[in-house]
Each structure stands twice: as structure tokens, then as C-alpha cells.
Amino acid sequence: MACRVALILVAVLASGAAAIGQQTPPVQPRIQEAPLPAPVELPPPPGANQAPDRPITANEAALIALRNQPDITVARAGIEAARGRVQQSRSALLPTVGAGLGYTRFESLTGGSGGGGGTVGLPGGGSVVASPGYQASVNLRQLVFDFGRARNQVRQAQALENASTANLTRAQADLVQLVKQAFYTYVQNTRLVDVNESNVRAQQAQVALAQARLNSGLGLPLDVVRAQTAVAQAIQALQVARNNASISRVNLAATMGIDPRTPIRAADADEPAIPVTEVNALVTTALGQRPEVRQAKETVRAAELGLKVARATNVPSLSANLGLGGRGNSLIPNSTFASVGANIAWNPFDSGLTAGRTREAQANLEAARADLRNVELAVTSDVSQAYLNLKAAEQRVATADAEVANAQESVRLAQGRFGGGLGIFIEVIDAQNALLTARTNRVNTLSAIDQARAALARAIAAPLPTGP
């Protein structure tokens, strides 16, 4: 009987409290809502758009860069300069032809009286005899033998031309990697904008949940304030994410060699996967294909030929000459002559010139060989680091997916506990922040995979993108 009375009293008190709650409105907190500003956009540059008006892939961005980036123009100019040096050095092996035309007036002073054409009398006796004359000549010279010095100079110039060609390929590969890194950074930041926009919507929904609990008399004013604070923080993070995306787009356009204000839309596509075999095989492939290695090897070959050229500085050289000339009182000479000859030039004592050039060339050769070794070490390091980064990023994908799934479940449970009066609102806020962190980590992991794949493609000298 006492239990029944107690139950009746509890029911009466509960109904009274409910009646009081219905009659007394809840205390509303004094809060200030954070506005959500519109994204800041750059105005497009005047003139035609230098990028397609559609989402582009990383390869398309690289192709645009290969056409517009000034660094590639500089590398191509280096090849032309090297070809010019080859042409200059080859001219020593080919015949040279020279021509000359001149006019000379000879005057001779004579004593006594004289006469005749071209003779002018002088006061006090004597005369000046003037004899005008024209001269014309054509000369042909051909190097016959110089112990291979001129030919080695040509070979040295050709090796340097090959090095310049490899340098162009290196510059193109470096540019493609830079563009792809900038492209996937832009994609990463764009995805983070989506994540933060989703977080703002979720935090705004938490405000509605907290407000509804407060209006029902079951919530606390502090919960609404916390929810509004979380919204403000989410909006601030979204503004930072939007600015990062805009800055990365500007950086991408500049890397592509186009106006940084150019609007670019990146396709949400991943970098193609590379068949990854054993690391040592990748290193062997890279050492055989990387343009830096070819460039360094050609530089060593040029240095070896340069040493041969230096040692032959003072060797004798034999050349043949053929000449044809004429003289006369008119432009058409009335007397002609021909000459054939050979010339040997030799400086057996050059005051140390040959020894100095040889010493310099030997030092250049040692430096070139050391540089080749440095390049091989750098290539091996590039492949190793890209491989490790790719494998580590791929392993993190499963962890990131699990983190997102668990964080989503935590939000669901926290909201359910709070809605059922079993939990506190701070649990909802913490769960939502954990979900934001999990989604951010997943985006960063996917971007790390794309960038590691691009780095590995560069490390093993994968073929450059080609246009349609």
C-alpha cells in the first residue's frame, strides 16, 4: 500500500513539473550567429581563356604547361645553341673560301725631266710617276691533318649537344611532375572545401537539435551556445579551406605557364596506377631511362674528348692552299696567276699552354665523373622515396576508411544519446569534430597516393603525356 502511495505522489509531482514547464518558457541564451560569406573569386584575365572551359585532368594540365612554360623554351634554346657550336667546330674540317678585291695607286718620285702618261712634273725638276692598279684574288684552304684535334672538337660539341637534348627531356619531366603535384594539391584542397562545407551543414543541424531540446524544456542554454560556437569555428575553417583552394589554383596556373587568374576546374580523377615491381628493378629501369643520367654520361664523354683536344693543343697541323688572282688597270684584270701550296704549323714551345689546358681538362673530367655518380645516387634516392611514400599511403587508405566509418557511427550514437536524454551535448560536438578530422585524413591520404604515383612515374622516367 505504501508503494502505491509513493507511486501516486511521484506521478503527481511529474505532472506538476510538466505543467510548470509548459507554462514557463525556457531561458534563451544571448548568442550571435556567424554569417557564411560567399567564396572570394578572382576575375578572369582579359582575352581568351588559356585553359579549357571544362574540368581537366592532370595530363591535360601538363600538356598545357609543356606548350606555355618559358622554362621549356629556354631548354630548347640551349639545344639550338649547342647545335650552333657543333656547326662552328665542324667548319674546321671543311674547306674555307676567301675572296678579295682591292685598288692600289702606286706613286714613285723620279729626278730630272720626264714625260709620258701618268707623269706629273715637280718644281725644280723631277717627276711623279702614278700607276693605278686593281687586284682580285680567290683562295681555298683545306685542313689535311692535325692528329685528330679538330675531329675531337666536333665530337665534343656533339656530346654536349646530346647533353642539351637530354636536358630538355629532364626539364619537361620536371615540369610535368611539378604540374601534377600542383594539380593534386588543388584537387586535395577542393575536396577539403567539400568536407568543410559538409561539416558546416552538420554543425548547423546540431544547433537545431540543441535548440529543439531547449525549447522542449529538456536542454540547456549552454548547449545552444556551444552549438553556435561550433558553427562559427566550422565557418572559419571553411573560409581557410576555400582560400587554400584558390591559392593552389593560382599556383597551378602559374606552374602551367598561363595567367594565374585563369579559372581552372580540375577533374576529380586519380593518377593512373603504376605496376610496381621489386624496388631494385625500378632502380635499374630509372638508371637506364632518366634523362639526368644520359645528360651526365654525355657530359663525361664531352670531358673525355675535351682532354684529348687539350693534349693536342700544340700538335702540328697540315693544310693545303689553292689560290687564283689577277692584277690590272681596270676591274677586269689583264694578268692572272694561280698558286698551290701546303702549310705546316707547329708551336713546339708554347710556354705551358698545352700543359695548362690539359690540367684544366683533366679536372673537368674528374668533376663530370663525380657529378655522374651524384646523379645516379639521386635517381636511386628518388625511386626509393617515391616507392616508400606510395606504399605507406596505400596502407593508410584502409585505416582512413575505418576512421571515417567509426566517426560516422560515433556521431549517430552521440546524437541518439543526446536526443534520448542519455548523453550530453558536448559528446555530439566531439563526435562531429572527430568526423571532420577523419574525413580530412582520408582526403589527405588519397592525395598522397596521387602525388606518390606521380613522383614514382617521374623517378622511373615514365613517358611524358602526349596530346591528341
Give per-residue pLDDT as tens, 213-240.
878 777 788 888 888 888 999 999 999 9
pLDDT at 14: 39
**Nearest partner of 199 among 438, 386, 382, 20, judged by Cα:** 438
Is the pLDDT at 329 greater than 80, yes or no?
Answer: no
CB neighbours of 446 closer than 8 A, spacing ≥ 6?
A: 188, 191, 270, 397, 400
Phi, psi (5° rounding) for residue 141? Answer: -130, 140
pLDDT at 111: 56
6's enclosing H/E stretch is: helix 2-23
Helix, strand, coil abundance in the chain, percent, nearest 5: 65, 15, 25
| Angle 295-298-302 from CA coordinates, rounded to 5° | 135
Is the pLDDT at 15 greater than 50, yes or no?
Answer: no
Is the pLDDT at 394 greater than 50, yes or no?
Answer: yes
Is the pLDDT at 293 greater than 60, yes or no?
Answer: yes
What are 429's strand-pairing partners?
none
What are 131's strand-pairing partners?
106
Buried b (16+ CB within 10 A) or exposed e, 428-462: bbebbbbbbebbbbbbebbbbbbbbbbbbbbbbbb
**Nearest partner of 229 among 194, 204, 197, judged by Cα:** 204
Is the pLDDT at 316 greater than 80, yes or no?
Answer: yes
Q: Which residue has the higher pLDDT, 118 or 280?
A: 280
* Across 8-31, average pLDDT: 49
pLDDT at 249: 96
As a dihedral over the C-alpha atoms of residue 69, residue 75, residue 79, residue 81, rounded to 10 degrees, the angle is 100
pLDDT, one tens digit per residue, over 295-310 is: 999 999 999 999 999 9
CA 191, 195, 196, 201 dihedral sign is: positive
Give 130's pLDDT tier (boundaries 50, 70, 90). Answer: low
If you average pLDDT over every residue of the chain, what do you get?
85
Is the pLDDT at 124 greater than 60, yes or no?
Answer: no
Give 1's pLDDT tier (boundaries 50, 70, 90). Answer: very low
pTM (2 d.p.): 0.80
Burial class (CB in 10 A: 0-12, 13-18, 19+), 109: exposed
Is the pLDDT at 371 greater than 60, yes or no?
Answer: yes
pLDDT at 5: 30
Percent of the chain's residues with pLDDT above 70: 86
Which amino acid, one-letter code, is at 184?
A: Y
Q: Which residue has the higher pLDDT, 130 or 293?
A: 293
What are 98's strand-pairing partners?
139
- Residue 43, classed as helix, strand or coil, is coil
Give 161's pLDDT tier (boundaries 50, 70, 90). Answer: very high
pLDDT, one tens digit per residue, over 23-41 is: 466 667 666 677 778 888 8
* Across 427-451, average pLDDT: 94
**Unique residue bearing C-alpha cell 536524454:** 421
Q: Where are the beta strands (DSSP E) in 274-414?
A: 317-328, 335-345
Give 132's pLDDT tier (boundaries 50, 70, 90). Answer: low
Is the pLDDT at 136 greater than 60, yes or no?
Answer: yes
pLDDT at 168: 95
Q: Is 351 left (phi over 0), alpha (psi -120 to 50) or beta?
A: left
How far, rounded to the nearest angstrom, does the alpha carbon of residue 43 sit from its chain's CA centroid?
A: 26
* Across 197-205, average pLDDT: 91
pLDDT, one tens digit per residue, over 105-119 is: 666 666 555 444 455
* Across 84-93, average pLDDT: 92
The span from the CA of 323 to the CA of 325, in Å, is 7
Asked if 85 and 154 touch (Cβ cutoff 8 Å), the reply is no
Is the pLDDT at 67 greater than 70, yes or no?
Answer: yes
pLDDT at 16: 40
Architecture of domain 33-38+51-94+146-314+352-459 in CATH? Up-down Bundle (1.20)
Q: Which residue has the higher pLDDT, 144 or 182?
A: 182
Phi, psi (5° rounding) for residue 104? Answer: -135, 135
Asked if 203 and 262 touch (Cβ cutoff 8 Å), the reply is no
User: Around 92, how many Cα atoms within 13 Å sit in the side-chain half-sphere?
Assistant: 17
Is the pLDDT at 351 greater than 50, yes or no?
Answer: yes
Give 129's pLDDT tier (boundaries 50, 70, 90). Answer: low
Is the pLDDT at 327 greater than 70, yes or no?
Answer: yes
CB neighbours of 382 closer than 8 A, spacing ≥ 6?
A: 286, 455, 458, 459
